[in-house]
A and B are shown apart, each in its own frame.
Chain A
Amino acid sequence: MTTIRKKHDGAFIIPAILIVAVMTQVPFLLTIVYSTLRWNLARPDLPIKFVGFANYIYFLRMPYFPEIPEFYRIVWQTVLMTGGSLVVCTVLGFLLAVLLDHRIPGINIARTLILGPFFVMSTASGVIWKTTIFNTTFGWYGVLARAVGFEPVDLLSNFPIAVIILLFTWRWMPFFILVMLAGLQGIPDDLIDATKIDGASWFQSTFFVKLPVISRHATVAIMLGLIFIVKEFGLILVTTAGGPGTRSYNLPFDVYMQVFNASNVGRAGALAVMTVVLSLLAVTLVYRVVKKQSSLYE
C-alpha cells in the first residue's frame, strides 16, 4: 500500500521536474560549459577548443588600467537602470498606492487605468512611447515642447538611460502599486482611527504607521520587481537599441549582441554566466537590505 502511494506521489511531480530541468537547468549547465570554450559560429575554420577562463578574462581584464573596459560600464549601466527604476517604483509606487487607497467616486476606474501598463507587452509599449510621445517632430513631447517655446532635443539619444528608467518604471510600477495597495487595504480601520485620535499628521500616519504595516508587501514587490526588471530586453531593443553606441546596453542586451551579432558562443556564454551570478548577487543583497529594514518594524 505505502509503496504504491510513494510511486503515485512521484508521478505527480516528475513530469514538471523533467520539463523545467530540460528547458532551464540543462541549458544553463551547458552555458557554463560553453563559457570555457573557444567557439565562434562565424569562424567554422577554427576548431572548438577548451580555453578555461579565457572568455571571462577577456571581459574582466583591464589592460589600460585607468581606462575602464566596456564590460564594467555595461554592468554599471545595468545597475543604474535596474536600481533607478526599482527606487522610483518603490517610492512613487507607495505614494500612489496611498493615493489610490481613498474611497472616492469612480476609484476603481482610476485603479484600473493605472494597472493597465502592467499588461501591455514590452515591445508595444516601447514603440508607442517612441513614436507617439518621444518623437521630436510628431510626438506629444515635441509638440508640447515647441508650444512652450523651446526646441525639443532627442531624448532617446541624449538621455538614453533616463528614458529607459522612465519606461521600465511606467511598465512595472503598476505591479508595485497592485501589491502595496492590497497591503494598505488590509489595514484595519481601527488602526487608522487610532492614529487620527492621537493627532498624527499625514506624514506620520503614512510613513510611521502604514509603511511599517505593509513592509512585507513592499518586500515582495521589490524582490519580484527586481527579478522582472533585471531581465528586461524588449523595451531596450525597440527604443534605443542599446545606443547611442553601447550607452544603454544592459547585461541581457549585451549577451544577445554577443550571440547574434558577434556569433561568439564562448564569450556570450561567459557573459551570460556572469549575468546570472550578478543577478543572483543583487537579489540576495537587496533581500538582505530590505529584510533588515522591515525587521526593524516587526
Chain B
Amino acid sequence: MSDQEVRDMNQSTAVRRVRRVSKVKKTTKTVFLTIVIHAVGIIYFFPVLYMFLTAFKTEAQAVNPAIFFNPTLQTLKRVLSDPNMLGFLESSLFQVIMGTALCLLLGIPAAFALVFGRFKKKATKEKLYVWFITTILLPPVAVIIPLYTWFQAFDLVGTPFGLLLAYVGFHVPIVVWMLHSFFSDVPISIIEASEIDGCTRFQQLTRIAVPLVRIGIFSAGLLVAVFIWNEFFLAFNLTGNTTATLPVYMARFREQQGMFRAQLSAASAVAILPPVIFGWLTQKALVKGLTLGSVKG
C-alpha cells in the first residue's frame, strides 16, 4: 500500500464529504484561478515582455506600441556589432566571472572556519559572523567618497581591477552569510570523524564539507553573480569609458526622451537576458539558499 493510499484511508469522512460536495465547484474554481493567475503573470512581466518584442522591431516600427508586427533581426544585429556595446559587455563579463570566483574562493573557507574552526576565544566566531552580517547593511554611499578619491589617486578608474576589488569586498559577506547556515547543517560528527581519520583542515573543507553544501555554494554564487551583473552605483561612480559595465551603458539611454526605443530595447534584451535566464533555471536552488540562509539566521 502506498503512502497516498494509507493517507486516504485514514482521512476522516468529514474531509471526504467536503471534497465530494465541492468537486464541481472546484473545477470552475480551478479554471477561474488559472485564468487569473496567468493574467497576473503576463501583466506583471509585460514591460519586459514588450521590451523583448521591441528588440525585434526597426526604429520606425518601434514608434507605435504594437504587439503584432513584422519581426526583424536588424536592430539586434546592429547593437551586437556596436564596438561600444561590446566593450561594456566584456567589462560586465569580466566583473561577474572574476568577482563571483573570488567571492567564493574567499567566502567558502571563511564560512567554513566560522562554523567548524577553532579560535582562542569561543566568542570570536560569533563576533566575526556578526561583523560580516553588519557589512551587508552598509549602503555603498557610506564608502563611495574615499573609494572615489583612492581610485582617482591610484588611477584605478582606467583598469577593471579596482571595481573588482570593491565588488569582492561588498559581496564576500553575502557568501559568508548564506554558506554559514548551510555549513551549520553539516553534522559536526562527520567533521570530527574525518579528523580522527587524519584529514587536515584543508582536506575537511575540500573533500567533505564542500561536496555536502554544493547547493548552497551554487545558489550563493548565483546570487552574487546576479548582484554584480546588475550593480550600478559603484560601477557608475568608479569606472571610466573603457571599464564601465552594462548597467552604466543602459543608464545612458535616460536622456533620450523616447528616441531610439528599438535600439534601447535590443540593448536591454542583451543586458537582461543572462541574469533572467540564469535566475529562472536556478529558481529552486535560489529559494532554498535564500530561505535556508535567512529563515534560520
Contacts and interface: CB of A to CB of B under 8 A. Distances in A.
Interface residues of B, number: 102
A210 interface: no
Per DSSP, are chain A's interface residues mostly helix, strand or loop, or mixed? helix
Interface in A123-143: 123-133, 135, 137-140, 143
B165 A19 contact: yes
A126 B169 CA distance: 27
A121 B232 contact: yes
A281 to B, nearest CB: 11
A259 B132 contact: no
Contact of A193 (B15, B47, B168): B15
Nearest to B296: A216
B256 to A, nearest CB: 8
B143 interface: yes
B14 interface: yes
A13 B114 contact: yes
Q: Which of A120, A130, A259 has the largest count of B CB atoms less than 10 A from its CB?
A: A120
B159 interface: no
Contacts of B146: 26-27, 30-31, 34
A282 B258 CA distance: 37
Contacts of A234: 232-233, 236, 247, 251
B253 interface: yes
17 contacts: A5-B201, A8-B200, A12-B117, A15-B106, A20-B132, A104-B30, A119-B279, A120-B272, A123-B232, A128-B264, A135-B258, A138-B63, A138-B261, A140-B50, A234-B233, A269-B145, A276-B138
Interface of B: 11-12, 14-15, 18, 30, 33-34, 36-38, 40-42, 44-45, 47-48, 50-51, 54, 63-65, 106-107, 109-110, 112-114, 117-120, 128, 132, 135-150, 165-166, 168-170, 172-173, 176, 200-202, 205, 226, 229-230, 232-233, 236-237, 246-248, 250-251, 253-254, 256-258, 261, 264-265, 268, 271-272, 275-276, 278-280, 283, 286-288, 290-291, 294-295, 297
Interface of A: 5-6, 8-10, 12-13, 15-17, 19-20, 22-28, 30-31, 34, 96, 99-100, 102, 104-107, 109-133, 135, 137-140, 143, 170, 178-179, 181-183, 193, 196-197, 216-217, 220, 224, 227, 230-231, 233-234, 237-239, 241, 251-252, 255-256, 259-260, 265, 268-269, 272-273, 275-276, 279-280, 283
